[in-house]
Amino acid sequence: MLPHLQLGAEIEVGPGDDAAVVRLPSPRLVVTTDTLVEGHDFLGHATTARWIGRKAAVQNLADVAAMGAAPLALVVAISAPADTPAAVFEELTIGLTARAEADGASIVGGDLGRAGQLTITVTAMGSLPLDQEPVRRSGALPGDVVAIGAPRLGRSAAGLALVLGERALVRAGEDGRPTIMLRSIQDSSAADLLRWHDAPDPDLSLGWTVGRSARAMMDLSDGLVRDGRRLAAASHVTLDLDRAALAPDVEQLTGLAAELGADPWSWVLHGGEEHAMLACFAPGAVPDGFRPVGQVLAPTAHGPEVLLDGAPIEGAGFDHFG
C-alpha cells in the first residue's frame, strides 16, 4: 500500500486487494518493467527520493510511449532497508505519482519489502487501439529521417559527470524540496543539468501522438549511439547522424565540460538516461516535436551501424554505475 494514490475512473479495483483491475481502452496490452537500485542507478547523496520516484516512473513510461501507446497504469515494488524513514516512501510515491499523472497514468498497486539497498521496480502498462500497430524498432527504411523528440541531448550525462566528479550534493528539506550544492562549479546551467540527470523530464506524449506515424521508434535509455545501433540492427539499416544538427546540443554543454575536463560530444552522442523518443520518419514527414538529426542508409559492408557525417563513432555508450 502506498500513500498519495489517486485513481482514475478506469481503475475498477485499486490497491488493497490481491491484484488491481484496470479497464483498458483496448485489449492490446503494452507492458514494460525496469528497476532503479541505490548505488547502481542512483546515489543517495546526489538526488532526492522524490526525484528517484520521478525517474523510476519516467524510464518505464518512456518504454510504453516508445511503442506508440499512452501509459495508463503503473504498479510499483519498493524494497528498502529496515531503517528507511517513512518520509522516503512518501516522497518516492509523490514523485512516482506526479510523473505518472502528468502522462495520464495511475499507480494501481504496490508492494513494500525489505532489502539492503533501496530498490524500486516499476511496471508500466498501456494499451494500443486495435487499428494501431505498435511502433517497433524494426521498421526504419533507407531514406528515412532520423529524429529525436527532445530539444537537447546530453543533459543527463552532464549531470552524471557532476555526480561522479563529486561536484554535487543534494539534500531534501522537510517539505521534500531539494537543495542542490555544487562544489567549484561556475557554469550557471549546472544545477539544471544535475536535476535533469536526477529526474529527466522528456515530453513522452510525442510517442503516443505524432510518434505513431514513425516507421521505427524507441526511447533513448543508453545513449544516441548505443540505442541507435539497436534500432539500426533491428531495422537492418545504418543511421548516419548529422554533426551540424547535434552541434547546438554540444554548444550548450561546452562551459561545464571545460570545467570538468570532459568531452561534450561524448555526452551528446553517448550519454544515457534521456528517455526522449528516437524515431525514424519517411522523408518530409517529420512531425512537430521531433527534430531531424540524421539519415537512414542501407547497411554498410560492416552491417548495421551508427555513423557521424558518414564516419564511424568511437566510444561504447552509456553503462550504469556498474
Task: Detail the residues annotated as belonging to a binding site.
Answer: 18, 32-34, 41, 63, 110-111, 137, 219, 221-222, 273, 318
Which of 23, 45, 177, 183 contacts a copy of itself by CB under 8 A? 23
Determine the residue type at 54.
Answer: R
Regarding 111 and contact with a copy of itself (CB under 8 A), the answer is: yes
CA 47 from centroid of its chain's CA atoms: 16
Q: Which 8-state DSSP code applies to residue 144?
A: P
Regarding 134 and contact with a copy of itself (CB under 8 A), the answer is: yes
Kindly write out the interface string for residues 179-218 of this chain, putting x where it contacts a copy of itself by CB under 8 A and - elsewhere.
--------------------------------------xx
Which of 92, 96, 105, 128 contacts a copy of itself by CB under 8 A? 128
What is the closest distance, in whole angstroms, from the C-beta atom of residue 245 to a copy of itself in the complex? Answer: 23
CB 185 within 8 A of CB 167: yes
Four-CA torsion 211, 307, 157, 134, nearest 10 degrees: 20
What is the closest distance, in whole angstroms, from the C-beta atom of residue 27 to a copy of itself in the complex? Answer: 4
CA distance 201 to 210: 18
C-alpha grid cell, residue 151: 530539444
Give 29's contacts (C-beta < 8 A, 6+ positions apart): 125, 126, 127
What is the closest distance, in whole angstroms, from the C-beta atom of residue 6 to a copy of itself in the complex? Answer: 18
Regarding 19 and contact with a copy of itself (CB under 8 A), the answer is: yes
Which of 9, 27, 244, 284 contacts a copy of itself by CB under 8 A? 27
Regarding 29 and contact with a copy of itself (CB under 8 A), the answer is: yes
Residue with cell 568511437: 314
Taking the CA atoms of 142, 238, 30 and 60 in sequence, report the sign of the dihedral they define. negative
CA distance 57 to 98: 9
Would you tell me how many other CB atoms lie within 10 Å of the CB of residue 290? 25
Return the SS3 of 232: helix
Which of 91, 144, 187, 219 contacts a copy of itself by CB under 8 A? 219
Nearer to a copy of itself, 105 or 308 (CB): 105
Regarding 110 and contact with a copy of itself (CB under 8 A), the answer is: yes
For a copy of itself, the binding residues (CB under 8 A) are 12-13, 16-35, 37, 39-41, 62-64, 66-67, 69, 73, 75-77, 79, 82, 108-111, 113-117, 119, 121, 123-125, 127-128, 134, 136-137, 217-219, 234, 320-322
